[in-house]
Each structure stands twice: as structure tokens, then as C-alpha cells.
Amino acid sequence: MLDAGEDAPEFELRNQNDELVRLSEFDGHVIVYFYPRANTDGCTIEANEFNDALEGRDDISVVGISDDPVSDLATFAEEYDLEFDLLSDEEGEVATLYDSYGEKRMFGNVFDGVFRNTYVVGPEKTIDAAYEGVSPEGHAEAVLEDIESRSAEPVS
């Protein structure tokens, strides 16, 4: 995992609308969350919770990154009315930069895939917080609470 204070790796990926999205284009805090597969139970819970938690907020952005193709992301975003960018990292290159891609085991099979990790990137494009191997349910609310508590801390 990347540590708080490290520079967030820049990325340029296509979203569900086949548009290029760059980390450097965001202002304020950006929640960058990595998820294994669009339209699966855990990933749907996580996406819907981020969508609901950030509804009406323009001070915090969120992007979800998986190794799904753009077409799968488009279907996922449309089906659940997701209001944020889902980014396609089919080769896992960006996920690798964020220590969120590698060997996984499931049902006796070994394969490379995306790990369920989340980063909060601050306005200066440094890592403010990192969450490894998260559970989808309740995660969005916990991340949002952490951002708000950090913002409320006095500056010394």
C-alpha cells in the first residue's frame, strides 16, 4: 500500500463513457477506490454506497477503478445510475502503481486481478489515507467520515 504523504501516481484512463479521465483534473479530495469486478454483489454494494454518500457533494470526487472493459463499466453505471467515473484499467497498470493488483486465488484458480483497496488523494495530489482489503458494506461512509474528521483537525 502507498503511505500517507506519498505522491499519488498520476493516471489517465477511459471512463464508462469512453472519455479520458486524469487524476490531475480533479480539485479537492478524490476517493480512488479499486474493485475487482463490475456488477458483482460486493462491487455493486460499494458503488451504490459511494454514490449515495457523495450525492449532492461537489467538494469530494470519487472514481472507481477495475480491470473491466469500458463496455462493462457503461452497463454497470447505467444499471445503477452511478454519478461518478468508473475507470477501465484492463491491464492493471494503474492498479499496480497503487499496489492494488496482483495474484489472487478463488475457487482453486490462480489469476491476476484487482484488490479491493481505497485511497483518499488530497488537493495537493498526495495520499491522505489508504484502506487495504476493505469490506464493501459501510466502507463509503467510513471514508467520508475520515475525510471530514481530517478536515476538521486544527492546522498547527
Show which residues are catalytic: 43
The rounded Cα 119 to chain-centroid distance in angstroms is 7
DSSP state string for the chain: -PPTTSBPPP-EEEETTS-EEEGGG--SEEEEEE-S-TTSHHHHHHHHHHHHHTTT-SSEEEEEEES--HHHHHHHHHHTT--SEEEE-TT-HHHHHTT-EEEEEETTEEEEEE---EEEE-TTSBEEEEE-S--STTHHHHHHHHHHHHHHSPP-
